[in-house]
Amino acid sequence: MRFSPGFLIALAACAGPSVLPEEYAKRLPAARELDPAARARAEAQAQEGLAAALAGRHSAARPLAEAALAADPRQAAARAALALCLMQEARAEDPPTLSLWRRAEGELLIADQLAPSDPEVQRARAAFLVADGHLSAAAECLDAALKSSPSHVELLREASRLHYELGEERAAGSLLVRLLAHVPEEPDATYRLAQVRTRLAASLPADDQPARKAAFLEAAAAFHRYGELVPEDANAMLGEAYARFKAAETEGSVALVSEGVAILELYEQAGRLLTRSPEPWYGKAIVLEALGRVDEAKQSYRDAVERDTTHVGAVLNLIALLASGPGAEKDEAKELAKRSLGLELTASERRRLAKFVTGE
């Protein structure tokens, strides 16, 4: 009985050697003479197959990859596409089928040797590393690919996302700026940039007020831009309000008074969208307290606690304000403190509350 080359590839993909990926990858396929039309056809099938695999369309990707490899076993994109299909097949079992998983990694190692500068092959390698739980290695893989393809949008998108998820704000921020230079109207990237800039601003030394103000204003601008792209997302308003408040805070009470109305309006806009969330009222209360509008701040903290009795920040701040008020408010503060001892508090917060409740 005779079998077609495509059938043999499919059979090998299903069975897969149970050898280590590195051992499998030592057996690079030999070059094959092809006429220009056949080579172009194999390349097109390989690229189309890899695009489908990266998009999660494995049933479409597999036959394209196998057809390309049947004609030209050195098609790196087809190897990478087949690897992603094998990985998906392996994950049909829990835990994944080891032989298929190793074969997938081996195929990717071969693809990397055949086309180390191909950005799509490197995207496939990174996708495998993420699935294998190696996020830092995946980020390093994409960073290396970006050195030879610095304007590749998908590389920038995936690398920035990984660095963001790893909490590597500086790397994520730099990549997000580069990404948004190519796709300025991408909401997710704009939101991540706003978050990154806020975290970086908060990490600056407290005594470096000019740098903190400039950084928080950059964060506020990013949140504002995100709000332009997604007008009905209250997170844009909450983020901009917080960043503007922190920027004004660096300059003292005069700047807070000047900015206060606009900041409070942002929190109120968010509150109209998030009627059940405590966050708009909590943020508003902090600003009101900073402005010396204590009675309004108390009410806003109450509004936040009414929506979420476990909101530690709102509860503790409300207790602190009530404790410094007249007798009836002190009693209210003690009752609230007793109920709040069951919340998820830090050790120091719990000690302070217990001390306040007992009057020690």
In a domain, 154, yes or no: no
In a domain, 283, yes or no: yes
Domain final residue pick, 102, 132, 162: 132
How long is the chain?
360
Do 182 and 156 form a contact (C-beta atoms < 8 A)?
A: yes
In a domain, 320, yes or no: yes
Reading the block at residue 220, the tokens are: 């506020």
In a domain, 352, yes or no: yes
Cα 239 from Cα 242, distance rounded (Å): 5
Q: Tens place of pLDDT for every residue, the chain, 360 residues?
A: 333 444 333 333 444 446 788 888 888 888 899 999 999 999 999 999 999 999 999 999 999 999 999 999 999 999 999 999 999 999 999 999 999 999 999 999 999 999 999 999 999 999 999 999 999 999 999 999 999 999 999 999 999 999 999 999 999 999 999 999 999 999 999 999 999 999 999 999 999 999 999 999 999 999 999 999 999 999 999 999 999 999 999 988 888 999 999 999 999 999 999 999 999 999 999 999 999 999 999 999 999 999 999 999 999 999 999 998 888 888 899 999 999 999 999 999 999 998 888 886
CA distances from 58 to 50, 76, 113, 130 (A): 9, 17, 23, 17
In a domain, 121, yes or no: yes
Instruction: Give the structural domain span for 344.
Output: 275-360
Predicted TM-score (pTM) of this structure: 0.87
In a domain, 111, yes or no: yes
Residue 308 burial by CB count (10 A; 0-12/13-18/19+): exposed, middle or buried?
Answer: middle
Domain final residue pick, 132, 157, 187: 132
Do 145 and 122 form a contact (C-beta atoms < 8 A)?
A: yes
Cα 176 from Cα 60, distance rounded (Å): 31
At 354, which CATH number? 1.25.40.10
Do 129 and 137 form a contact (C-beta atoms < 8 A)?
A: yes
Domain final residue pick, 132, 152, 172: 132
Do 300 and 264 form a contact (C-beta atoms < 8 A)?
A: no
Total of domains in the chain:
2
In a domain, 254, yes or no: no
In a domain, 178, yes or no: no
Cα 189 from Cα 166, distance rounded (Å): 15
CA distances from 90 to 57, 103, 207, 215 (A): 15, 10, 54, 46
